[in-house]
């Protein structure tokens, strides 16, 4: 007798095969059989009318802090995710000496917008090596499985001290020590090594992430160490990815050389840049040629535009203005009441921002309003360019700041605007579609757990399934078959990161399963909640349509409600 049989669902098994009707039997936390009319079980789950898939594998998150205080790993749990990978973008919390704790927190806050007070209150520390970090996490109860990479920022500072933190060149001895430390981490369970080279990733003091200017020799030395273990991957954020300069193509050439010379698989973030909107095509051409030549280089692409959210609850174009500062001390309702004052409105929409760095630079650019849109009802992440803030302002004879101010005051000051920071330079999702459908790419970039006041993209698996498959007509040239999207969200990411035990519904695979009401599947509007340690805020987006999610054969959520089951474990490389 099986432990569980999921009876009579429409199965999309993660292998890329078309959907079929049948049952999924589970025993000892694994898929025992897939077929029709399977035998009895201690629990029968009726899947009539439901889609049955592997639960999603999210390979680009920043739960490095949240993993220590949130058993549920929300909002990923609510979006059908069963496995997350943290330690991306070169920032993490191990290895770490006690004198570096505050520095690592400051680095994470600067790069990933996770509040330092929350990290300081929520991290238990108690480790030095990466292996010890995993051991500490392994003792905690959790809903989902969590894997992590060892990060360039932590490794450089651990080996080189202040020289590493300040991005000074590494000596051959430094490189050898870093390589040994990374090898030790991978053998202890790290899924790989991550590094960031983009100039937009900086610590609170403005210093670029350690490793931003690392030499090719340093990166090759570390990649060879990873490869020597027979497992693991390199994850990079290349310079130029955010359109901050024109160095991306050279960076891609370098990453291809590293992957080719070391034999180590390498993945990197890629999206259409606002400043270089056609450059992604050249990147894909280079990568396709490299893959055809046997190089394992995998662009990690986004399922929807990377959206920075503006609101009076979080980041907004007025928050750095002198006249806005007294409002920050008010409750939300009192702040909204003050903002409705016509005199204050007039002052704020005309006042000059004295700041010349950070988000102020973005807010002072007129181009930003051409790519900023209201988050309307129903919610759309592929808005029409005629609905941009710039277009509305021109049509109504108002300034963009007036339009922004008034729109953000809607819904009692809880309305959001979205700035398409990447993936939407031409006002369409065409680049996203082409990148997703490529056989050499993997879906990623949710950044779940990060940018807590700016970005809420943890729901991208839900969006991928609805927007690109369900809501596109079969004869739409941009329609993606359901089996393609499911494979991208499951098997492809799991295999890339060496997690060969999950991502499909095949006998022997880990029994991580979603039961989905496909017709009802969708995401909520974002909202701001205050549930981080020290009462810090974060953006949240829930989902509907996930009737059940199973992890290792145990139901962990039903219709968005936590069941209390805690089968999650730390995933170690092997």
Could you report the per-residue pLDDT of 192-242, keeping only the tens digit for each? 999 999 999 999 888 999 999 999 999 999 999 999 999 999 999 999 998
Closest CA to 161 of 179, 178, 176, 184: 178
pLDDT of amino acid 353: 83
pLDDT bracket for residue 502 (50, 70, 90):
very high
Average pLDDT over residues 469-473: 93
Orientation angle between helical segments 400-408 and 389-396, nearest 10 degrees? 110
pLDDT in tens, 367-420: 899 999 999 888 999 999 999 999 999 999 999 999 999 999 999 999 999 999
Percent of all residues in the chain with a pLDDT value above 70, rounded to a whole number: 99
Q: Is the dihedral of CA 485, 512, 571, 445 positive or negative?
A: positive
pLDDT of amino acid 499: 98
Average pLDDT over residues 422-432: 95
pLDDT bracket for residue 485 (50, 70, 90):
very high
Report the top-level CATH class of 59-305+425-496.
Answer: alpha beta
In this structure, what DSSP letter does residue 355 have? -
pLDDT of amino acid 526: 95
pLDDT bracket for residue 554 (50, 70, 90):
very high
Give per-residue burial for 184-217: e unless 16+ CB within 10 Å, then b: bbbbbbbbbbbbbbbbebbbeeeebbbbbebeee
Average pLDDT over residues 133-153: 98
pLDDT in tens, 89-142: 999 999 999 999 999 999 999 999 999 999 999 999 999 999 999 999 999 999
pLDDT surpasses 90 at 12? yes
Whether the model pTM is above 0.85: yes
The two structure tokens encoding residue 209: 């992430």
pLDDT of amino acid 354: 81
pLDDT of amino acid 82: 99
pLDDT of amino acid 288: 99
pLDDT of amino acid 309: 96
The two structure tokens encoding residue 194: 């991550």
pLDDT of amino acid 376: 86
pLDDT of amino acid 356: 62
pLDDT of amino acid 357: 65
Rounded Cα distance between 531 and 533, Å, is 7
Average pLDDT over residues 247-267: 98
pLDDT surpasses 70 at 360? no
Burial class of residue 340 in the structure, from the number of CB atoms within 10 Å of its CB (0-12 exposed, 13-18 middle, 19+ buried): exposed
pLDDT surpasses 70 at 358? no
Average pLDDT over residues 35-60: 97
pLDDT of amino acid 393: 97
CB neighbourhood size of 481 (10 A): 16
pLDDT surpasses 70 at 305? yes
Orientation angle between helical segments 430-437 and 482-489, nearest 10 degrees? 80
Do 450 and 67 meet the contact criterion of CB atoms below 8 Å apart? no
Average pLDDT over residues 59-80: 98
- Is cis: bond before 95, omega within 30 of 0? yes
Place of tokens 């004879």: 397
pLDDT surpasses 80 at 361? no
Domain ranges of the chain: 59-305+425-496, 309-421
Rounded Cα distance between 186 and 228, Å, is 10
């Amino acid at each position: 007798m099986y432990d569980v049989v999921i009876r009579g669902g429409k199965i999309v098994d993660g292998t890329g095969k078309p959907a079929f009707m049948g049952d999924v039997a589970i025993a000892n936390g694994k898929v025992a059989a897939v077929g029709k009319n399977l035998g009895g079980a201690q629990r029968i789950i009726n899947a009539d009318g439901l889609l049955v898939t592997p639960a999603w594998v999210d390979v680009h998150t920043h739960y490095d802090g949240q993993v220590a205080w949130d058993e549920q790993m929300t909002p990923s749990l609510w979006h059908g995710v069963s496995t997350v990978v943290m330690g991306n973008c070169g920032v993490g919390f191990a290895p770490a000496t006690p004198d570096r704790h505050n520095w690592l927190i400051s680095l994470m806050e600067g790069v990933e917008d996770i509040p330092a007070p929350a990290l300081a209150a929520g991290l238990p520390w108690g480790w030095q090596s990466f292996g010890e970090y995993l051991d500490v996490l392994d003792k905690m109860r959790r809903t989902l499985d969590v894997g992590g990479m060892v990060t360039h920022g932590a490794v450089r500072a651990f080996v080189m001290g202040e020289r590493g933190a300040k991005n000074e060149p590494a000596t051959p001895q430094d490189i050898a020590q870093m390589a040994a430390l990374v090898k030790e981490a991978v053998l202890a369970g790290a899924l790989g090594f991550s590094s960031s080279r983009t100039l937009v990733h900086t610590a609170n003091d403005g210093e670029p992430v350690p490793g931003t200017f690392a030499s090719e020799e340093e990166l090759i030395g570390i990649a060879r160490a990873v490869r020597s273990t027979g497992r693991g991957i390199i994850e990079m954020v290349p310079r130029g990815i955010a359109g901050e300069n024109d160095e991306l193509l050279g960076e891609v050439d370098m990453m291809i050389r590293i992957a080719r010379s070391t034999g180590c698989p390498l993945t990197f973030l890629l999206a259409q840049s606002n400043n270089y909107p056609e450059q992604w095509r050249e990147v894909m051409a280079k990568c396709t040629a490299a893959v055809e030549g046997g190089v394992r280089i995998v662009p990690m692409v986004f399922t929807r535009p990377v959206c920075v959210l503006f609101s009076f609850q979080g980041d907004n174009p007025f928050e750095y203005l002198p006249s806005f500062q007294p409002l920050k001390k008010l409750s939300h309702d009192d702040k909204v009441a003050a903002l409705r004052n016509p005199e204050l409105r007039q002052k704020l929409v005309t006042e000059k921002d004295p700041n010349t760095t950070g988000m102020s630079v973005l807010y002072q650019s007129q181009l930003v309003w051409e790519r900023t849109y209201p988050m309307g009802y129903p919610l759309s992440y592929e808005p029409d360019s005629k609905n941009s803030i710039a277009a509305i302002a021109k049509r109504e004879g108002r300034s963009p700041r007036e339009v922004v101010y008034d729109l953000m005051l809607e819904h009692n000051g809880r309305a959001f605007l979205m700035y398409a920071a990447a993936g939407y330079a031409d006002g369409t999702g065409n680049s996203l579609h082409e990148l997703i459908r490529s056989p050499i790419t993997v879906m990623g970039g949710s950044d779940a757990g990060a940018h807590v006041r700016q970005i809420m993209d943890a729901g991208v698996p839900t969006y991928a399934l609805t927007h690109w498959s369900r809501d596109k007509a079969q004869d739409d040239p941009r329609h993606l078959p359901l089996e393609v999207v499911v494979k991208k969200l499951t098997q492809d990411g799991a295999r890339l990161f060496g997690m060969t035990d999950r991502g499909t519904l095949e006998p022997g695979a880990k029994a991580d399963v979603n039961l989905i009401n496909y017709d009802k599947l969708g995401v909520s509007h974002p909202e701001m909640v205050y549930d981080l340690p020290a009462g810090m805020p974060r953006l949240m987006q829930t989902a509907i349509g996930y009737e059940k999610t199973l992890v290792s054969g145990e139901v962990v959520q039903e219709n968005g409600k936590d069941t209390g089951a805690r089968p999650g474990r730390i995933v170690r490389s092997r």
